[in-house]
Amino acid sequence: MTALSAAAAQALDALDPLAPIRELFELPDDVIFMDANSVGPMPKAARGKAKGLLDDWVNLRRRGWSQRQWLEMPSLLGDCIAPLIGAGPGEVVMCDSTTLNQFKAVSHALTLRPERRTLLTQNGNFPTDVHVLQGIAAASEGRLSLRFVDSEDEAVAAMDAEVAVAALSHVDYRSGGRWDMGRVTAAAHAKGVLTVWDVSHSAGAVPVDVRGADADFAVGCGYKYLCAGPGGPAFIYVKRGLGDEVWPALAGWMGHADVYAFARDYAPHGGVKKFLTGTPLVGADELASAMLDVWPKVDPAKLWAKHKSLTDFLIAALKQECGSLGVVVNSPGDHGRRGGNVSFSSPGAGSVVEALIDAGVVSSFRQPDAIRFGVSPLVIRHADCWEAVARLKRVLAETIWRQPKYAKVSV
Ligand SMILES: Cc1ncc(COP(=O)(O)O)c(C=O)c1O
């Protein structure tokens, strides 16, 4: 293989069909944000949305409910991101947090499998996903318990008639390793197990196909690769027709079959809308609505192809430039098994991440020695990957990270 270079990066960027999309974002000069796994980039439209909301607050107030789309926004945003997870119109809503949506999905699955007593999840799952299950089990006063697995093969083997629901992350938030959603879901269904997938680290970066995989539920964060903004709404998907008549564990007026009838007694809306709870978080939704200017212009297949090209390039550059300095790539070599971020081990990883911030590269550290570069194909170019690796190389080669000011590591 020919050696990678800045020129090779630029040549790849010149062929990028999504290059114009970058222009839709407000990006600071000379800072490379490799942290879309935490907070994705800001669409330029967000500033106008924020100002418009403040004007509406002053001028419209309650008339905003009728003159603006405040109440429809959870569905509009859900329809906007549905193609990125392989869902159709009306199958996704954006609302609440991932934690809450996980609770709603898992509780619903349990209602549909009342005779079963086991909740299956990963040891390495994101803490909040596990905590939700532990909370549900604690509230069951001993009826329900958790079963943990470490690998996809173990998960497949662990499906049995005791398991009600497998609540799994599609992508490991530390290593960036991606599971085969179709394979695990098929194994689950063969034993009557329902699946809840957390696609926070795949949606908006790599292929997700909830319908193709026949997933029962999916949830995920809006503020990562989907660019809903800090604190932006999460999303929830439910397979069409699954337990349509069944009440959600968290019944609220926005999930009522006829919201504006103001009926005393609850009746669940069909489909995913019953997972809406209370009044939409209008402020967060307004910032998130800047996505409506972006995602309809993006062909998901091109987005995923660009993520493959960027992360293949990044991994090769990390090995070529920083391998001799102790960097070891943890992310899978096969893009089909890779999530949104590229993860690698490095000497002094926490301090390296701090030093990289001063060098104009924003990334994140995870114990014990992993650095994550979260790659948003909407804005990151091959040239950015090359430059980020060049700055990392300098931090390592010149042992800049050993300076006392980088000893304190932030999360
Ligand atoms: C896989 C995963 N799920 C959930 C969350 C967080 O959920 P919430 O937005 O409810 O805090 C994160 C946050 O990074 C995450 O990585």
Mean pLDDT of the chain: 97
Same-domain pairing of 117 and 221 = yes
Residue 196 within any structural domain of the chain: yes
* 126 Cβ inside 6 Å of ligand 1: yes
Q: Which of 297, 330, 359 is the last residue of a domain?
A: 297
Same-domain pairing of 290 and 380 = no
Distance 77 CA to ligand 1 centre (A): 19
Same-domain pairing of 291 and 303 = no
Question: For residue 250, what pLDDT is reported?
Answer: 97
Report the Cα–Cα distance between both ends of the chain, in Å, rounded. Answer: 37
Domains in the chain, number: 2
Contact 197, 217 (CB under 8 A): yes
Backbone phi and psi for residue 232, each to the nearest 5 degrees, phi listed first: -65, 160
Same-domain pairing of 324 and 250 = no
Same-domain pairing of 345 and 203 = no
Residue 38 within any structural domain of the chain: no
Residue 43 within any structural domain of the chain: no
Contact 216, 109 (CB under 8 A): yes
Question: For residue 189, what pLDDT is reported?
Answer: 98
Same-domain pairing of 88 and 232 = yes
Show Cβ contacts of residue 9 under 8 Å, excluding neighbours closer than 6 positions: 313, 381, 382, 383, 385, 386
* 101 Cβ inside 6 Å of ligand 1: no
Same-domain pairing of 150 and 238 = yes
* 97 Cβ inside 6 Å of ligand 1: yes
Distance 220 CA to ligand 1 centre (A): 7
Contact 38, 224 (CB under 8 A): yes
pLDDT-based confidence at residue 248 (cuts at 50, 70, 90) = very high
Return the ligand 1 atom nearest residue 221 CA. Answer: 9
User: Active site includes 224?
Assistant: yes
* 172 Cβ inside 6 Å of ligand 1: no
Determine how β-strand 361-362 pairs with β-strand 194-198: unpaired
Same-domain pairing of 286 and 156 = yes
For 324-336, the pLDDT digits (tens) are 999 999 999 999 9
Residue 258 within any structural domain of the chain: yes
Tokens 């596990």 sit on residue: 130
Question: For residue 2, what pLDDT is reported?
Answer: 78
CATH code assigned at 101: 3.40.640.10
Please compute the mean of the pLDDT values over residues 189-211 and round it to a whole number. 98
Residue 117 within any structural domain of the chain: yes
* 223 Cβ inside 6 Å of ligand 1: no
Distance 201 CA to ligand 1 centre (A): 9
Question: For residue 410, what pLDDT is reported?
Answer: 84
Same-domain pairing of 330 and 372 = yes
Mutate which of 200, 206, 224 to test ligand 1's pocket (most atoms within 8 Å of Cβ)? 200
pLDDT reading at 114 higher than 70: yes
Percent of the chain with pLDDT over 70: 100
For 148-179, the pLDDT digits (tens) are 999 999 999 999 999 999 999 999 999 999 99
Query: Rg of the chain over CA atoms, in angstroms?
Result: 22
Same-domain pairing of 152 and 279 = yes
Backbone phi and psi for residue 256, each to the nearest 5 degrees, phi listed first: -75, 150
For residue 130, how far is the Cα from the chain centroid? 16
Nearest to 175, CA basis, from 327, 340, 363, 391: 340
Same-domain pairing of 264 and 313 = no
Residue 41 within any structural domain of the chain: no
Could you tell me which residues are beta bridge partners of residue 264?
Answer: none
pLDDT reading at 84 higher than 80: yes
Q: Which of 281, 297, 313 is the last residue of a domain?
A: 297
The residue annotated as part of the active site, out of 223, 235, 237, 344, is 223
CATH code assigned at 14: 3.90.1150.10
- Residue ranges of alpha helices (H) inside 278-381 are 282-288, 300-322, 349-358
Distance 15 CA to ligand 1 centre (A): 34
What's the DSSP call for residue 57? H
Same-domain pairing of 176 and 226 = yes
Question: For residue 1, what pLDDT is reported?
Answer: 61
pLDDT reading at 76 higher than 80: yes
Domain that holds residue 20: 6-30+299-406
Q: Which of 242, 269, 297 is the last residue of a domain?
A: 297
